[in-house]
Amino acid sequence: MIMGVVNITPDSFSDGGHYLDPKLAVAHARRLIGEGADILDIGGESTRPGAAPVSLDEERRRVLPVLEQLAAGNVPVSVDTRKPALMREAIAAGASIVNDVTALSAPGALEAVAKSPAAVCLMHMQGEPGTMQENPSYRDVVAEVRDYLAGRVAVAQAAGIARDRIVVDPGFGFGKTVEHNLSLLRSLSEFRPLGGALLAGISRKAMLGKLTGREPQERVHASVAAALVAVQNGAHIVRVHDVAATRDALAVWNSVRTGN
């Protein structure tokens, strides 16, 4: 499945456009639906390296109006937040997935999801967004990320979230060097058994800039290649900016695989 990214933030790092105006965000989301997105991921807090935190009120103002409009449609909506209050409000407004880069580690986050019917994406991150890319360090990145996610899945299950509601994600670029990211992508299939589904988000990230020498808006081809490798290595969901291009690549892969 293709998860299309809708960033409602003032920074235009990956999108080359900013959708702080709810009308523009909704229009962008509808365009992604037209291109074939299976899920929309709506976020109002930038988790980019070095980004400043956003207040609950500001995040609410960004996310909820857009979510209310999109949740009325037929495409499931995911809310990208670490804040339990916004998780609850977003679910009440129609979100069916909580995407949390801190894997429900904030006080009250496990309960917010457990008491709802929503699914959750548990992501691995080393450190905090402000400083995570300063000196990422692992003894064995694949084993450490796997053990962390297995632990968070166990904690979520103990809180009452069934495994078929849990998506796991190694968190490409979140406290990882290019070499760490490449190791994770190469061994992605090892993460598949941990949860109900496996998500990979590599679209337009810095590792692709390092590998190609290109700026974020010029990383479409590299992003499509990375999404294809991720799906071949077991990802069920790819989180992408370029839905149409990813859809075409996966259509070719799927035809080779199934013969029709």
Residues known to be catalytic: 205, 239
Strand (E) or helix (H) holding 139: none
By three-state DSSP, how is residue 88 classified?
Answer: helix
Beta strands, E only, the chain: 2-7, 39-43, 77-80, 97-100, 119-123, 166-169, 197-200, 237-240
Interface residue with ligand 7PM, options 13, 19, 148, 191 (CB under 6 A): 13
Interface residue with ligand 7PM, options 5, 98, 188, 222 (CB under 6 A): 5
Give me the count of residues in the chain: 260
Interface residue with ligand 7PM, options 54, 64, 79, 121 (CB under 6 A): 121
Q: Does position 172 bind ligand 7PM by CB under 6 A?
A: yes
Q: Does position 230 bind ligand 7PM by CB under 6 A?
A: no
Q: Does position 169 bind ligand 7PM by CB under 6 A?
A: yes
Q: How far is the CB of 230 from ligand 7PM (least distance, A)?
A: 10
Distance between CA atoms of residues 68 and 73, nearest Å: 10
Looking at residues 235 to 254 of the shown chain, list those that interact with ligand 7PM (rule: CB under 6 A): 239
Distance between CA atoms of residues 249 and 210, nearest Å: 22
Site string for ligand 7PM, 57-96 (x = CB under 6 A): -----------------------x----------------
Judging by beta carbons within 10 Å of its beta carbon (0-12, 13-18, 19+), is residue 113 exposed, middle or buried?
buried
Residues binding ligand 7PM (CB under 6 A): 5, 13-14, 46-48, 80, 99, 101, 121, 123, 169, 171-172, 199, 201, 203, 205, 239
